[in-house]
Structure 1
Amino acid sequence: MLDARSPHSLHFAQNASLVVLSLLFLPLSTLLLFASYVTRPFLSNEDAARKHILSSVSRRDSSFRPKTVLVTGVGKIKGLFLARAFYKAGHNVIGADFEPHGIPVCGRFSKALRSFYSLPKPNEKVGAAYYIDALLQIVRKEKVDLWVSCSGVVSALEDGQAKEVLERRSDVRCIQFDVVTTQMLREKDAFVAQTQRLGLPTLETHKVTSRAAVHKVLNESPRTKKRYIMKSVSMDDASRGITTILPKRNVSETYNHVSAIPISGNKPWILQQYIKGREYCTHALIVNDEVKAFVACPSSEFLMHYEALPADSTLSRAMLRFTEEFVRRCGSYMIGHLSFNFLIEEIVSEKGAQMTLLPIDCNPRVHTAVVLFHGQEQAMAEAYLTALTPQINSIRERPITNGYAEAQSEPPSSPVTPSKPHPNIDGYTTAPPEPSSPVQPVNPARYYWLPHDLVTLLLLPLLDRQTTMSAYLQDCQTFLQHLLLWKDGTYEVWDPLPAWWLYHAYWPGQFWAKAVMGGRWSRVDVSTGKIF
């Protein structure tokens, strides 16, 4: 894998080869595109299904009127999925997104959208003013009822600012945390501190702003025998790609590694205790301090395959319980998306296996795992639209203190009676869900991205001299299994153009722009449109 130290010629070749690869598969993809349009009326008539939903809902509720929903981030698969979900549930969907290098994003071409707007990207020079003003103009022009933010990592705080402005200057409701909550959740050290204040377990974490501070923590490791993962607090792509386990095999190697890391008061890092265990991630919709939708799935450092845990499994229920407890103990008005990363530590003793659930960090935004709700679009739309109910709207009248509405329960510092522990999951009850349980996937499909697997499973191993024949055949078997039994995260037979555009216009355009400008990257997330 190439990195910043790799020669420019190799990076150019990498970008050019991916453009050529897209061109090679263009005829086949175009044939599939036209086949989708021809067979769509017979295989999946979404227009008829949409009319049926509207008719059945209208019969149940004569006051039902389709809402106008603004979904930002439709160039990401998570935003596109939610736009499609609201469309299939009978609502009018407005899409918007940034368009890097002027290249249209795939969501612009979705049948689910009534209209699309290109947004100005916030930057250090002008801040978020133009971005927020653009959102406000869209909300007023389209008479938007609900804004669902599918922000990326970099624009999360700007979306928090936009929420506060939009709800103050218009009647729109926003599925987005405010600035204070967003900042607390997305900054790793602040999230860990909040989790500890709430009386919930978490990993030992140290915020460090100098190399001396790093070595001070590591000097204790020979005595405690602890190891740490060093991660940047910053959200910039270069730093996000650097994670390492410390200390190294010897003192000299540790010092050399730490000396190469850009660390200062302006660029703080964290040392988080390293524990071997299985990693999981979750996606949750929070409306008025309630978890309205939830899914958990196995995770990895670079997650490109999604398979939901059964909703009634012990692990899924434990992670749902943690999410509910976290939201409840925060004691403040919360509306937005929560995505936790968990580590499951398993300790085997004479008494049996004991599993401990430990949160690693939190992302206050939509997780790509939202695609696992495929088939439950109407239930998902209804969960989002609970934000428009009068009871929730009345919260706007509560006095705001430091970014939070006045708490309706005990403050975070108040003692909370611990839940009865489950014998297998330390610290969490896994009792059956209450009657008002959140929407969860039912028999969900497993998701992958065909071009990603094509490159990583079939092509790259051929360039690796260490790849054995048996290992390559195993990769081929995995690819074939995904192709036949899994579902591509972007392609829909009733809405095929976004996938065609993503693979044959958007990504080739991004790669060519990188080649021309001399850009370097180490990996690409096909699902989010992100280049690292």
Structure 2
Amino acid sequence: MAPQLPSRVQSTLSTLLLLGLSLCLAPVSFVISLFFSLTHAGGARDAASSRPSALPNGHTAQRTVLVNGARMQKSLAICRTFARNGWRVVLVEEQGWGNLAATRFSNAVSKFHLLPSSALPAVKSSRFGDKSGRAITPYIEALVQIALDERVDLFFPCSGAGSTGQDAVAAQILLQHTQGRVRSMIQTPELVETLHEKDRFIALLQSLDMAAPRSEIVFSVDEALEKLRSDGYPRSILKCAAELDDVGRADMTLYPLLHARTHEPDWEATRTRLSSLSIPLCARTPYILQEFIGDRADTAAAPGNVAKASEWCTHATVVDGKLTAFVCCPSNDMLMTYYPASHTVVGELALRWTSTFLYRLQKHAQASSGHSEPPSPLTRQPSWSRDTLVGRHAPADAGITGQFSMDFIFQPATRDGQVERLVAIECNPRVHTAICLLGGLPELGEALVPASMARSPRTDAAQQLAKAVAEMDEMAYLSSLALPVMEARPAEQRQAHTDLAALTELPPTWASSRLRFYHAKNLLQRAYTAPHSSLPNSWIGHDLPARLLPTAHVLSSPWLQHLMRLVHPFWPAAAVSTAGAGLITLPNPSATPASFDLAAPAPLPPFTDPSFAKDDPWPFFALYHLQWPQLLLWQLLVRRKKWSRINVSTARIFEC
């Protein structure tokens, strides 16, 4: 069932309390930022000017990268990475978002521009006409013009959900107008559209013979009921396919609804529920009916025992067909604590799944070369070829390039013979916030650029990869792959988790105080010297109101807890996040099971807050005392709409 939503009065009170909290803590954040700016002089901008990028001809010159999405924390991680690797960074953001966006205050940013909103309609005529017939919006025009004026060498989009498609079109226009000189780290428009839309992504997986949940698009309540009534149709969830659904995002209602006493389908209640969705189910706003993949019954363990399914997310950077950076995290519908988990069993399965997906996609394109079949009207799949996978104006040595952020459901093995299963349910063709876990790794910079722009360029890398795909079978190809850039190795993670566990499990006695101090010192030293590599990351701006204050002793009295839930219905009564996260545990027969508490705050703020860096501290201050106060005031005074949740990392306010 959908959670109780706040009233307008509750939303207003919550906004005022958050603004007051920001104001009260501003002096503390200012002192922290000032201290590190004075004691760690020579930040990312100095690193960029002192360490120019290497050119293929052996000469050196400072390269320029264009990054968008200044309001989101993933753009901050990308800007810092490029600046520390010797690039000049030009940052852009849409008007209304970018005036006080935290990333623009980073030492890594050399220049900042504002763009027209991506929501504006297409212009009738444009100097950047797209021969494919795609509409050119003022956002695309301005983005391309800035890239040309700034003479950028690389466009690295940190897109939002609403601008990914337009960023892909802008990337193709840049390729065309610069004769392939300006590369972009985003997929082609055809591939972006296929990955972005759930029904098309599932159809692509099915065509590649990869496991996928049954997923169909429905255009009316009657059509949804007809499918649900068909023989053998699995219980399913419903998600809007045409619009961002802030209310329905966390709704995991299973259809058809079951009668409370008989546990048989209640079709009348199901029709009523489908007819009262926050966004109407109709031809203009169709929904995706997707098979629900959940817990498994484990009858061999004990009667009624279940093996808990869990949700996971990954980020993968692909450069010229090669997987170069990868991170895996346990997930939920609004992830706010990121645990490095690429070296777990799920991380290994997800890495192999992603490599297999890329191999089969390239193989499929090679098999389809020379054919010009039109897209299927049922699946709306384009004809896969080099033009649709790489771009018709891409250099000859280019391959599939872009960001692949996958959502998975993991079902563990059971004692009655069911093997572990990892099923992809969604793909977002853009950078995932999880890339913040890789921000402290110096090798990430080389992993984010095409082979021709790396310090040790291999211009024939894409052709060699294509040849390997054509000549090797799948097993041989996967076995030959080198590991991409990933977060800390298991030994470092285990030590960090040991220290964390010791801090929480040691009894509060004098005898244990020395051990507690020892473990705290280890954690602090690790966070100070190698941030974002082995410890979980989360934002103190979320942890403080949603996790720390609710469990504070001073607020533990029942009447205060009741009062705060009157202020906002999502106020947690215990150490649980506003997203309703829980504990995810992975069984490990040979060692202690790995546990990830997605409701727990990250330790040692600000060192585990991705907005903070010792040599770049001011985005930390700007995020909580400039960007978010502006967004909250805009929501209160201009939009005048109530909200249910806030995502600190993406600047997203979930309206209701």
Q: What is the TM-score of this pair, normalised by structure 1?
A: 0.84
1:231–1:242 CA contact under 8 A, matched in 2: no
Counterparts of 1:121 and 1:392, CA distance in 2: 37
The one-character-per-residue Cα deviations of 1:136-160 (angstroms, maximum 9, x if unpaired) are 2222222100010110000111111
Counterparts of 1:483 and 1:253, CA distance in 2: 49
Larger radius of gyration: 2
The one-character-per-residue Cα deviations of 1:19-54 (angstroms, maximum 9, x if unpaired) are 11111111211121222222224xx96578668865
Query: Which of 319, 329, 337 is the aligned partner of 1:297?
Result: 329
Counterparts of 2:121 and 2:144, CA distance in 1: 20
Note closer, same or farther for the CA distance 1:61–1:160 as it changes in structure 2 (3 Å cut): closer
Counterparts of 1:386 and 1:95, CA distance in 2: 23
2:236–2:289 CA contact under 8 A, matched in 1: yes
Note closer, same or farther for the CA distance 1:391–1:121 as it changes in structure 2 (3 Å cut): farther
Query: Which of 86, 91, 103 is the aligned partner of 1:95?
Result: 91
Note closer, same or farther for the CA distance 1:47–1:498 as it changes in structure 2 (3 Å cut): closer
1:508 is displaced (CA, Å) by 0.8
Counterparts of 2:3 and 2:444, CA distance in 1: 44
Query: Which of 344, 357, 368 is the aligned partner of 2:422?
Result: 357
Counterparts of 1:513 and 1:60, CA distance in 2: 48
1:178 is displaced (CA, Å) by 1.7
Q: SS state of the match for residue 366, structure 1?
A: coil
Query: Which of 266, 281, 285 is the aligned partner of 1:267?
Result: 285
Q: What is the TM-score of this pair, normalised by structure 2?
A: 0.69
Question: Mapping of 1:103-502 within 5 angstroms?
Answer: 103-126=99-122, 128-170=136-178, 171-220=181-230, 224=232, 226-238=234-246, 241=249, 243=251, 244-250=253-259, 251=266, 252-261=268-277, 262-276=280-294, 277-311=309-343, 313-331=344-362, 332-333=389-390, 334-351=400-417, 354-386=419-451, 388=453, 419=475, 434=480, 436-443=482-489, 444=533, 445-459=535-549, 464-465=561-562, 472=574, 482-483=603-604, 487-502=608-623
Note closer, same or farther for the CA distance 1:288–1:316 as it changes in structure 2 (3 Å cut): same
Note closer, same or farther for the CA distance 1:349–1:226 as it changes in structure 2 (3 Å cut): farther
Could you tell me which residue of structure 1 aligns to residue 64 of structure 2? 68
1:3–1:520 CA contact under 8 A, matched in 2: no
Q: SS state of the match for residue 26, structure 1?
A: helix
Q: Which amino acid aligns with 2:646?
A: V
1:246 is displaced (CA, Å) by 1.8
Could you tell me which residue of structure 2 aligns to residue 35 of structure 1? 35
Counterparts of 1:497 and 1:136, CA distance in 2: 29
1:388 is displaced (CA, Å) by 3.8
Root-mean-square deviation (CA), in Å?
A: 3.5
Number of equivalences: 498
Counterparts of 2:606 and 2:104, CA distance in 1: 28
1:96–1:117 CA contact under 8 A, matched in 2: yes
Q: Which runs of 5+ in 1 are unaligned?
A: 399-406, 421-428
Q: SS state of the match for residue 420, structure 2?
A: strand
Counterparts of 1:343 and 1:298, CA distance in 2: 10
Note closer, same or farther for the CA distance 1:138–1:481 as it changes in structure 2 (3 Å cut): closer
Q: Which amino acid aligns with 2:107?
A: K
Q: Which amino acid aligns with 1:245?
A: L
Q: Which runs of 5+ in 2 are unaligned?
A: 124-135, 260-265, 295-308, 363-388, 391-399, 490-532, 566-571, 578-596
1:321 is displaced (CA, Å) by 1.6
1:519 is displaced (CA, Å) by 1.8
Note closer, same or farther for the CA distance 1:248–1:474 as it changes in structure 2 (3 Å cut): closer
Q: Which amino acid aligns with 2:211?
A: P
2:64–2:89 CA contact under 8 A, matched in 1: yes
Counterparts of 2:225 and 2:217, CA distance in 1: 12
1:344 is displaced (CA, Å) by 0.9
Q: Which amino acid aligns with 1:438?
A: P
2:538–2:601 CA contact under 8 A, matched in 1: no
1:366 is displaced (CA, Å) by 0.1
1:234–1:269 CA contact under 8 A, matched in 2: yes
Q: SS state of the match for residue 303, structure 1?
A: coil
Shifted more, 147-156 versus 12-21: the winner is 12-21
Q: SS state of the match for residue 562, structure 2?
A: coil
The one-character-per-residue Cα deviations of 1:198-228 (angstroms, maximum 9, x if unpaired) are 11111111211110121123224xx648321
Q: SS state of the match for residue 95, structure 1?
A: strand
Shifted more, 187-196 versus 202-211: the winner is 202-211
Q: Which amino acid aligns with 1:161?
A: V
The one-character-per-residue Cα deviations of 1:52-86 (angstroms, maximum 9, x if unpaired) are 865xx879995343311111113211111011001
